[in-house]
Amino acid sequence: MNELVFLNGEIVEASAARLPVSDAGLSHGAGLFETVRVYNANPFKLDDHLRRMRHSGKKLGIAVPWDDAEITRSASRILQANELREARLRITVTPGDLRAGLAAEDGIPPATLLITAQKFEAYSADYYRKGMTVCVSSYKQNKHDPTTGHKTVSYFPRLLALREAHGKQCGEALWFTTDNQLAEGCVSNVFIISKDKLRTPPLDTPVLPGIARAITLQCAAARQIEVVEEPLTINDLLEAEEVFLTNTIMEILPVCRIERHPVSDETVGDFTRTLREAYFEVVQQECRIGG
């Protein structure tokens, strides 16, 4: 079956979907997106994804002129159209033609809403058994960049860093800030275990307020694991007893090597295993899996 997409109210074949060349997503890289994991035909934490998108829209001046119920129905339609129960759902919003906004009575141009749904493809099972190898990106995260901490379609720097990581046979690249604080991965948040404490960079580093990040913090608190959100350095990272990454596609993914540097004994640690199990319990409950 040909892939179908939802574009501005219509379901069309992906190959036939068209945007005008004046769309600001194309001409200026302006726009927001959310990638949502779908389990058992249920988009996981969709409300949280939409809340984050709207927050970013207000901060960056990108209108999201559809209510949550409409976006949720549209997402359900495209999942059904593609006959998918386990999927990667992507919701993209761009401001449309910025020139049209200048002529609009309310100053808001007709925005673009694109929703795609693709068959879910998991990360390698070896990553979960043996841990991923990551590298330190040669690029820096700038806290003065207004888009930092938001999930925008201006993703090319992240793709360049991932390309660099893959060239080093690494699965992810970790970014540090211009003042050498640990920030996040290209597509993930990062956590370390040190002296029985779960530590992660604070949101004002700045880092993306990850959906999986928030779930992980809640799971840790529920299991009485001490959580500290604080600035971290390269030494904190290299001296950590455990390191793991989070996003809603990978869930909780262990890191056992930072380039050639082993994390502890290069095995998946007990805290990481415990939190992985706790995270999936949340998934099972919310997406009605296994019962």
- The CATH code for residues 125-287 is 3.20.10.10
pLDDT (average), residues 78-98: 95
Distance CA(144)–CA(154), nearest Å, equals 16
Q: Are 78 and 36 in contact (CB under 8 A)?
A: no
pLDDT (average), residues 48-64: 96
The answer, as to whether pTM is greater than 0.85, is: yes
Distance CA(216)–CA(178), nearest Å, equals 27
102 falls in which pLDDT band (50, 70, 90)? Answer: very low
Q: Which residues pair with 13 in a beta bridge?
A: 4
What is the structure's pLDDT at 239? 97
101 falls in which pLDDT band (50, 70, 90)? Answer: low
Query: Given a cut of 90, is residue 15 above it in pLDDT?
Result: yes
pLDDT (average), residues 217-222: 97
Q: Looking at the structure, give the CATH architecture of the domain made up of residues 4-119.
A: 2-Layer Sandwich (3.30)
Count of CB atoms situated within 10 Å of the CB of 82: 20
Residue 159: its H or E element: helix 156-167
Buried/exposed code over 225-246 (b: 16+ C-beta within 10 A; e: otherwise)? beeebebbeeebbeebbbbbbb
Q: Are 45 and 211 in contact (CB under 8 A)?
A: yes
What is the structure's pLDDT at 103? 42
Distance CA(174)–CA(17), nearest Å, equals 35
Chain centroid to CA 139: 19
What is the structure's pLDDT at 109? 57
pLDDT digits (tens, 9 = 90+) for 106-129: 555 579 999 999 999 999 999 999
What is the structure's pLDDT at 99? 73
291 falls in which pLDDT band (50, 70, 90)? Answer: low
Domains 4-119 and 125-287 share a fold: no
Q: Which residue bears the tokens 């906004």?
A: 101
CA neighbor of 158 nearest in space, from 146, 141, 179, 177:
141
Distance CA(5)–CA(17), nearest Å, equals 8
Count of CB atoms situated within 10 Å of the CB of 270: 11
pLDDT (average), residues 123-151: 96
Residue 49: its H or E element: helix 46-60
DSSP string, 52-116: HHHHHHHHHT----S-HHHHHHHHHHHHHHTT-SSEEEEEEEE--BHHHHHHSTTS----EEEEE
